[in-house]
Each structure stands twice: as C-alpha cells, then as structure tokens.
C-alpha cells in the first residue's frame, strides 16, 4: 500500500530538494508482514508502481521521507534511483531522511518524433530511466 500525492504528506522545507516543476510525493508505503517472506519483491513492486503512476501523471520528480534505520528499505530506494538530500532529522525519537528520484524522460534527436524511433527503443530508454542497472 502507498499514497501518491502532489502535496507533501510530511513537513519539510522544499529547498532541501533539487528544483522540480511537478514533484509527486510517496507516503505511507507499507506491506503486510505475511507478504514479506524472504525473497519477496512486493516492496519493489509497490515502489515501481508508484513511480509508474507518478510518471504517467506528469511528475518530473518523486519525493519521499524514509527512516534511515530501515536499511533494506533504504537500499531498495537507492536501487530505484532515489538520492538523499539534506541532513537526517531526529525529533521525538523519530528519525527520517528526505529522498528524491528525478524523472528522466526519453530524448529524441532533432527532428525525430518519439513515434519514429519505435516502441522497443523508446521502452528500452524508459526502462533504463526507471530502473538503473546494478553496479
């Protein structure tokens, strides 16, 4: 489960993030414990769906707040292209960091239309923008 909104579901100074014209915000990312068995990709599937929805709605960035102590969640966000901005915050025992994934749109050569480059090539560029290759 997750929420995807145009308004930040958390309090943060927007200057923490790089500039974006239309950022989307992911909040309340949660997975039922019984679905979290070892080797499950449900968390990654939720995040990829949130990215897909944000992109299709025209977002140029996706922002999130995360607990830095949840190392597996942070590793997944890193793998999906989220980068940390600003200082880690701690208030009332609650720790958090702020992350953003900048959306990279497919580019075409001058005079070339997206429809001219073919579905596979466009899809390949899109997939690479959505899911960086492992290092």
3-103 classified as CATH 3.50.50.60: no
Place of tokens 């140029």: 60
Residues in contact with 21: Cβ distance below 8 Å, sequence separation at least 6, in sequence order:
60
Q: Record the tokens describing residue 33, joined without a space.
A: 């414990």
Q: Please give the Cα distance from 130 to 103 (Å, whole number).
A: 8
Express each pLDDT in 53-102 by its tens digit.
Answer: 999 999 999 999 999 998 888 899 999 999 999 888 898 888 999 999 99
Domain boundaries, the chain: 3-103, 105-135
Express each pLDDT in 28-42 by its tens digit.
Answer: 877 777 777 766 788
In the structure, what pLDDT confidence band is assigned to residue 116 with cuts at 50, 70 and 90? very low
Burial class from Cβ neighbours inside 10 Å (0-12, 13-18, 19+) for residue 56 reads exposed
Q: Please give the Cα distance from 9 to 102 (Å, whole number).
A: 19
Q: Please give the Cα distance from 88 to 67 (Å, whole number).
A: 9
In the structure, what pLDDT confidence band is assigned to residue 128 with cuts at 50, 70 and 90? very low
| Sign of the dihedral defined by the CA atoms of residues 113, 117, 123, 125, in that order | negative
Q: Record the tokens describing residue 50, joined without a space.
A: 């949130």
pLDDT at 22 over 50: yes
Q: Please give the Cα distance from 105 to 84 (Å, whole number).
A: 21
The CA–CA distances, whole Å, from 2 to 77, 100, 133 equal 14, 16, 25
Alpha carbon 70 to its chain centroid, in Å, reads 16
């Amino acid at each position: 489960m997750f929420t995807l909104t145009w308004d930040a579901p958390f309090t943060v100074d927007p200057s923490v993030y790089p500039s974006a014209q239309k950022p989307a915000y992911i909040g309340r990312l949660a997975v039922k414990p019984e679905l979290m068995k070892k080797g499950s990709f449900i968390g990654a599937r939720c995040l990829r769906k949130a990215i897909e929805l944000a992109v299709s709605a025209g977002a140029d960035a996706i922002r999130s707040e995360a607990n830095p102590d949840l190392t597996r969640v942070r590793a997944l966000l890193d793998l999906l292209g989220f980068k940390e901005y600003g200082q880690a915050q701690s208030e009332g025992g609650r720790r958090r960091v702020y992350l953003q994934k900048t959306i990279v749109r497919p580019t075409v050569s001058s005079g070339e239309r997206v429809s001219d480059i073919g579905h596979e090539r466009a899809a390949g560029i899109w997939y690479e923008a959505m899911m960086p290759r492992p290092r």
